């Protein structure tokens, strides 16, 4: 399982389309969440939390054979190496259910 935390700027949708088109991978999901960057300067009044920012969590399920290639692909497409572009992790999959969507 590959999990990518991305800014809420449409990068998740772009990557899902590219995964489908270029890698024939349709086992991806994106959800919205709120968070505060851990390096963000917290300038708030005493006792108040910093304002959260919207993010997307992109989860991609791949076979072990595909994992390294897809990880590198997502790293490049999401520009993870650039400041503020998110984080990317790869972890063993605990469980998932295989299903096939109808063509129509």
Q: Residue 38 has what pLDDT?
A: 64
pLDDT of residue 59: 97
Kindly calculate the radius of gyration of the chain based on its CA atoms and give it in whole angstroms.
16
Dihedral sign for Cα 50, 56, 67, 61, please. Answer: positive
- Angle formed by the axes of helices 64-78 and 11-23, nearest 10°: 140
pTM of the predicted structure, to 2 decimals: 0.81
- What CA–CA distance (Å, rounded) separates 100 from 93? 19
pLDDT in tens, the chain (104 residues): 999 999 999 999 999 999 999 999 989 999 999 877 665 566 667 767 777 789 999 999 999 999 999 999 999 999 999 988 889 999 999 888 877 778 88
**Which of 3, 2, 9 is closest to 53 using CA atoms?**
9
């Amino acid at each position: 399982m590959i999990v990518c935390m991305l800014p809420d700027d449409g990068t998740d949708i772009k990557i899902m389309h590219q995964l489908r088109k270029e890698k024939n991978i349709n086992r991806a999901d994106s959800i919205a969440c709120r968070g505060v960057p851990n390096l963000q300067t917290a300038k708030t009044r005493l006792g108040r939390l910093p304002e959260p920012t919207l993010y997307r969590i992109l989860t991609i399920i791949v076979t072990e054979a595909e994992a390294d290639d897809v990880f590198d692909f997502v790293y490049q497409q999401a520009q993870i190496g650039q400041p503020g572009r998110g984080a990317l992790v790869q972890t063993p999959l605990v469980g998932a259910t295989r299903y096939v969507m109808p063509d129509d």
